[in-house]
Every structure is written in structure tokens, then in C-alpha cells.
Amino acid sequence: MIERVSTAPRPRRGQRKDVAGEFIEAIGDEKLRARLAELLRARPKGLQLISAILDYSPFLSRIAGTHPEWLFEALAEVPELHLARLIDEMSRAAASAEDDLTIMPALRHARRRVALLVALADLGGLWALHEVTEALTRFADAAVALATEFVLRDAHRAGRLFVPDPKNPGKDSRFVLIAMGKHGARELNYSSDIDLIALHDPVGAHVASGTEPDALFARLTQRLVRLLQSRTDDDYVLRVDLRLRPDPSSTPPSVPLAAA
């Protein structure tokens, strides 16, 4: 990324002279500190970009301060490849998660890393607006899919729902999510929530004997939302709005297909 940085926000009036330099000097890992300093040597636009990120955004400043290695990797790698790697790592971590306490950090760590990467590529002039919104939407697609697969897989393990292929639990599960609004249009911005409509087929779904399909899919949808938007020490992944479903005041979180 660093070789492609062509611009950076101007410093705020009264800003400290060397925000990036002070940040680098404060890194405790001597090897990482030296590598980051070398990466930025003779690259004033890169230093200005880091200073802007640290000075203008408390959220990104906390991320970089807690994980300076994430900042280094984002600057050192090709951003398009870095985004793909982050999503792939999130996918593998989520696929092996066995409970909420393992999948929630995996999704949240990826979200913070993607936020840092996208902001650097955006403010550094590497990506146009449509590339920024596509990257944010691509991450949202992956996070929603992984959280959905997790709740379906967990319901299968618990014997409440049978899915034909536990490695691909969404296939033939009779559960559908539709992205609406900016998410559906692939125009998510930094502060967007995501609008989802959840639908299920109570007749075609293979639920456990004695289990009411509508109630089961309502609980699965509520759990999916909690996985994504509950705030933890690692923040949240995405804010979810289910109110675009038909008659949201009187329908369950997941609507039977016949009623949609």
C-alpha cells in the first residue's frame, strides 16, 4: 500500500508536529518499531496519512495503538490482497468456532482490521468511492454469511435443525437472508447499519420432532443479530435492522415464506 499513497488529509491547526513519529517511538516491540520506521522512511505522504488517522479518528487510533502490527501489515501489503486475506482468516476462524465466545471475537477482530485498512486506502487516495463501499459491503456479506452459518451449524449440532451439509449449513437449510438498502445496493459507508429481511420455509425445513419451525427460526435470527451487533470489549461487527420485513410490528424476526 505505502508505495501507492498519493494524498493524505491536512493536519489540524495546532496539531502536534510529529504524531506518526511519536506513535512509532512508543511501539514496545523493537523489531516492529524498526520495520515500521523503515517502511515509512522518505515517505512523507505515508507519515502524514498515519498522523491523520491517529489524530482525526479515536476509533482507528485505538486500533493502531493496541495492534500496531495491524497497521504495519496494512501499509506493507497490497490492499486488495490484504482485504481478501482478512476475510479468509475470519472465515477459517468462524468455521472452527464452537460457541459464541469464540466466533464473536473472530468477527470483531476482522471488522477492526478491515476498518483500518479501508480508511488507509480511502484517505491515502488508493481507492475510489465505489471501491471503498464495495470493500465495506464485501466484509459485511462475509460477516453475515459466517454468523448465519454458525447459528445453523450450532442448531444442527444441538439436534434442533437438520442441515444436509454441516460444512455448508446454509445450503438447503430453508433459511434465507435478503440484504436491503445500502447493503443490498453494495453502497455501505463507514457508519451504515445493515437492513436484512429473514425468511424461512416452515414446511421444507427439517426441524426436530416437537419443534415449532417459526419459533426456531425466530430464535436463530435473534441470535444472529446478537452475534453481529452486541457490544463487547472488542466492540461490535455490524448494527442490524430487521424492520424492513413485512409488517414488522406484528411479524416475527424471521417471516414464513408464504406470508412474505
Strands (E) in 14-120, as ranges, are none
| Domain total of the chain | 2
Please give the mean pLDDT across all residues of the chain.
95
For the question of whether the overall pTM of this predicted structure is more than 0.75, the answer is yes
pLDDT at residue 14, rounded to an integer: 54
Of 36, 51, 76, the position where a domain reaches its end is 76
Contacts of residue 244, Cβ cutoff 8 Å, sequence gap at least 6: 180, 181, 195, 196, 197
Mean pLDDT of 194-212: 96
Based on the fold, state whether residues 97 and 219 are members of the same structural domain: yes
Q: Are residues 137 and 220 in the same domain?
A: yes
Q: Give the DSSP H or E segment for 180.
A: strand 175-180
User: pLDDT band at 16, cuts 50/70/90?
Assistant: low
Query: Quick one: CA torsion of 26, 27, 28, 33, rounded to 10 degrees?
Result: -120
| Of the candidates 201, 204, 198, the residue with the CA atom closest to the CA atom of residue 218 | 198
Q: Which of 76, 110, 142 is the last residue of a domain?
A: 76
User: For 96, phi and psi rounded to 5 degrees?
Assistant: -95, -5
Range of the domain at 64: 1-76
Contacts with 126 (C-beta within 8 Å, 6 or more apart), sequence order: 1, 4, 5, 6, 79, 120
List pLDDT tens digits, range 35-73: 999 999 999 999 999 999 999 999 999 999 999 999 999
Q: Which amino acid is at 103?
A: I
